[in-house]
């Protein structure tokens, strides 16, 4: 049974557990609280706070998630007291001499991390703020100073913003959680980069993924289980199109929850997997859900909760609830709520989730045919300012103005407004990358634009200093060198084909045809004039005279064509 108490002003949830005692200290701060320009600062605090423990003879670790950061350990009562007291002491006096070393460790850690199958959905849904920040690298590490860390700790790592869970027979004696006073920090307000939903975007991967934000509720958790079973049955068991199929439910502190699902696909089966995935979502949206499926999922969840209660696995979630302002729930209350879920409850969640859905399609395939709108991939406005044509690409140009910056080319534009800028990555060689709240980016390589280096100071002056994120120097080989456009080839006038043969032919035609014209013309006229004085055999004379005149006309036409050729020269 879970009990509540306080230690040094920090709320505590305690409950019995089988196996070794374990405990954790959690703070209501995570990636979603970080501005993009300081991305990684919470993770850095976590690492610095754990440095003093070195290689201990008991298990311990720390973790930074979207909304929470926690330090947890497993061992004896004395081990737990030593660890928790040590974490609190370290937070009040971080080992700043380790700053550069821990930054390098974090960079190495990030370099080995692979993107999760549904991670890109958060970026497209939320952009470069709050719940979308988690999708970005920890770019802020380079510029974080000791003063930045002290200010972050003073704001978030306080006793009023902390909670503790302890799983074991007793609360160990000797805990001294000496943390500074502060305030309970509110949950970030989720932003949206989607003008319409349901929506989709394409990504070059062999994966179909989907998510939706719904009300945080046990019914939504049951729906996630029902959806996974439906996808597994359709895409793996019946059609054999996918190997890995999964659906999940992730509660948030603001009272919402994220439903997600994904299925893998072979390159040649991407279209079939997408079609099957969409069909399953459409079916559950229409309420085609079997009560037996709901009962099966409920029974599975009941077993999982009962097992977690025995091992103390429900305690971390209850500590998170305390920080979110939610009541601690007993096992009996949780089980009763779970068993009350009906098929109609799950169908209602399915309809709400479908309406809010965001679909990631593999390759370049779209989903308009299924009723999903394309998520925006470019900006619908271009700033007013000075245009700088690219040295290399005649179709590309940079527009810099008082209110923002745009990159225009290929019939589309990317615009970042300075008052809606999340961060500016700044390299020592002058390169800049402006990232807007909506996730749109504009990269400026000064070497690729005329007077590019003189433009950079003016751009820097228009962005708030705290948004500037210094980046490590680049190797010279990575700094682009402009390749001038190739000079246009001189187009010489096409050589006129020789027509000397045509000229000679025209002259010969005139020489031959002119006398014939004269001879046959005179003969024809003579024959016709003879009719006046000689009335005998007039029929044959008329025919003969007209024939001579016809031949003369033909010779005249040929002579006229020859004269035309000579004049056209």
Give the CA angle between residues 43, 46, 48 to the nearest 5°: 110
For 409, the 3-state DSSP assignment is strand
Q: What is the pLDDT of residues 122-177, one digit of tens each?
A: 999 999 999 999 999 999 999 999 999 999 999 999 999 999 999 999 999 999 99
Question: How sure is the predictor about 114, in pLDDT bands with cuts at 50, 70 and 90?
Answer: confident
pLDDT of residue 427: 97
Residue 565 has pLDDT above 70, yes or no: no
Instruction: Evaluate whether 149 touches 94 at the Cβ level (below 8 Å).
Output: yes
pLDDT confidence band for 568 (50 / 70 / 90):
very low
Tokens 């634009």 appear where? 449
96-106: per-residue pLDDT in tens? Answer: 999 999 999 99
Kindly report, residue by residue over 16-25, the tens digit of the pLDDT.
Answer: 999 899 999 9
* Domain 199-312+323-374 CATH superfamily: Metalloenzyme, LuxS/M16 peptidase-like (3.30.830.10)
Q: At what angle do helices 291-311 and 218-231 cross, to 10 degrees?
A: 120
Query: Where residue 293 falls among pLDDT bands split at 50, 70, 90?
Result: very high
- Predicted local distance difference test score (pLDDT) of residue 569: 43
| pLDDT over threshold 60, residue 322 | yes
Q: What residues pair up with 10 in beta bridges, in sequence order?
A: 7
pLDDT score of 559: 62
* 400 touches 458 (CB < 8 A): yes
Whether 495 has a pLDDT exceeding 80, the answer reads: no
pLDDT tens digit sequence for 1-12? 899 999 999 999
DSSP β-bridge partners for residue 11: 6
pLDDT of residue 543: 63
CA 79 from chain center: how many Å? 44
Give residue for tokens 């500037």.
468
Question: Residue 109 and residue 102: Cα distance in Å, rounded?
Answer: 10
Q: Residue 259: pLDDT band by 50, 70, 90 thresholds?
A: very high
DSSP state of 236: I
pLDDT, residue 542, reads 63
Q: Which of 125, 151, 133, 161 is nearest to 26 (CA)?
A: 161
Whether the pLDDT of residue 494 is over 60: the answer is no
116 DSSP 8-state letter:
P
Mean pLDDT of 55-69: 91
The fold of the 385-474 domain, in CATH, is PH-domain like (2.30.29)
How wide is the angle at C-alpha 484 spanned by C-alphas 483 and 485, nearest 5°? 115
Helices (H), 53-185: 77-92, 99-111, 119-126, 146-156
Burial of 277: CB neighbours in 10 Å, binned 0-12, 13-18, 19+: buried
Phi then psi for residue 164, to 5 deg, are: -130, 140
Predicted local confidence at residue 496, as pLDDT: 38
Which of 420, 435, 418 has the alpha carbon at shortest distance from 469? 435
Report the alpha-carbon distance of residue 436 to residue 418 in Å, rounded: 8
Q: Tokens in use for 230?
A: 């439906």
pLDDT score of 177: 96
pLDDT value, residue 513: 55
What is the model's pLDDT at position 54? 85
Domain boundaries, the chain: 3-167, 199-312+323-374, 385-474, 501-567
pTM of the model: 0.83
Strands 162-167 and 21-27: antiparallel
Q: How far apart are CA 209 and CA 212, in angstroms?
A: 11
* CATH architecture, domain 3-167: 2-Layer Sandwich (3.30)
Alpha-carbon distance of 308 to 167, in angstroms, equals 11
What's the pLDDT score for residue 483? 78
Give the largest CA-CA distance in the chain: 155
Per the CB < 8 A criterion, the answer to whether 347 and 186 are in contact is no
- What span, in angstroms and rounded, lies between the C-alpha atoms of 416 and 433? 10
Same fold, 3-167 and 199-312+323-374: yes
pLDDT at 497: 38
Alpha-carbon distances, residue 294 vs 299, 300, 338 (angstroms): 9, 10, 11
Question: Would you say 165 and 177 are in contact if contact means Cβ atoms under 8 Å apart?
Answer: no
Residue linked to tokens 């002259």? 507
Confidence of residue 512 (pLDDT cuts 50, 70, 90): low
Question: What does the pLDDT average to over 542-559?
Answer: 63
Span 176-194, mean pLDDT?
A: 96
pLDDT single digits (tens) 83-94: 999 999 999 999
Start-end of H helices in 246-314: 270-285, 291-311
């Amino acid at each position: 049974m879970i009990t509540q108490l306080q230690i040094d002003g920090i709320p505590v949830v305690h409950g019995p557990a089988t196996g070794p005692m374990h405990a954790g200290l959690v703070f209501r701060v995570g990636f979603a609280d970080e501005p993009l320009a300081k991305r990684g600062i919470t993770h850095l605090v976590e690492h610095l706070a754990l440095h003093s423990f070195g290689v201990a003879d008991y298990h311990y670790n720390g973790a930074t998630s979207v909304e929470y950061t926690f330090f947890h350990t497993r061992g004896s009562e004395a081990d737990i007291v030593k660890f928790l007291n040590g974490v609190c002491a370290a937070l009040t006096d971080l080992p700043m001499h380790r700053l550069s070393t821990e930054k390098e460790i974090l960079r190495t850690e990030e370099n080995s991390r692979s993107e999760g199958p549904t991670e890109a959905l958060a970026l497209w849904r939320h952009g470069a703020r709050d719940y979308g920040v988690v999708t970005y690298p920890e770019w802020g590490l380079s510029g974080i100073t000791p003063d930045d860390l002290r200010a972050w700790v003073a704001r978030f790592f306080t006793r009023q913003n902390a909670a503790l869970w302890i799983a074991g027979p007793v609360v160990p004696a000797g805990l001294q959680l000496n943390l500074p006073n502060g305030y309970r920090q509110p949950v970030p307000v989720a932003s949206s980069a989607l003008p319409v939903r349901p929506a989709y975007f394409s990504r070059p991967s062999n994966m179909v993924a989907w998510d939706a934000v719904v009300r945080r509720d046990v019914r939504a958790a049951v729906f996630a289980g029902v959806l996974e079973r439906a996808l597994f049955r359709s895409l793996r068991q019946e059609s054999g199109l996918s190997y890995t199929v999964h659906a999940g439910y992730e509660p948030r502190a603001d009272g919402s929850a994220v439903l997600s699902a994904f299925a893998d696909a072979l390159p040649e089966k991407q279209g079939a997997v997408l079609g099957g995935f969409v069909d399953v979502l459409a079916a559950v949206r229409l309420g085609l859900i079997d009560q037996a499926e709901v009962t099966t999922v409920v029974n599975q969840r009941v077993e999982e909760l009962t097992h977690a209660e025995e091992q103390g696995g429900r305690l971390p979630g209850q500590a998170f609830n305390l920080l979110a302002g939610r009541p601690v729930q007993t096992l009996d209350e949780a089980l009763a709520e779970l068993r009350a879920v009906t098929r109609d409850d799950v169908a209602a969640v399915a309809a709400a989730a479908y309406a809010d859905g965001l679909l990631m399609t593999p390759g370049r395939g779209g989903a308009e045919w299924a009723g999903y709108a394309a998520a925006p991939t470019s900006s619908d406005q271009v700033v007013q300012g000075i245009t700088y044509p690219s040295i290399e690409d005649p179709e590309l140009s940079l527009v810099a103005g008082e209110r923002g910056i745009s990159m225009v080319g290929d019939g589309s534009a990317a615009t970042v407004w300075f008052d809606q800028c999340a961060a500016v990555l700044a390299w020592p060689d002058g390169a800049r990358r402006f990232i807007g709240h909506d996730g749109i980016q504009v990269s400026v390589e000064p070497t690729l634009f005329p007077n590019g280096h003189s433009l950079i100071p003016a751009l820097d002056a228009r962005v708030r200093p705290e948004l500037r994120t210094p980046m490590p120097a680049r190797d010279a080989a990575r700094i682009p060198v402009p390749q001038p456009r190739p000079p246009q080839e001189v187009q010489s006038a096409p050589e006129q084909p020789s027509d000397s043969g045509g000229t000679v032919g025209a002259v010969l035609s005139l020489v031959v045809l002119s006398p014939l014209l004269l001879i046959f013309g005179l003969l024809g006229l003579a024959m016709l004039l003879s009719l006046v004085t000689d009335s005998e055999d007039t029929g044959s004379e008329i025919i003969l005279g007209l024939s001579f005149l016809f031949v003369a006309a033909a010779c005249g036409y040929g002579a006229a064509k020859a004269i035309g050729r000579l004049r056209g020269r």
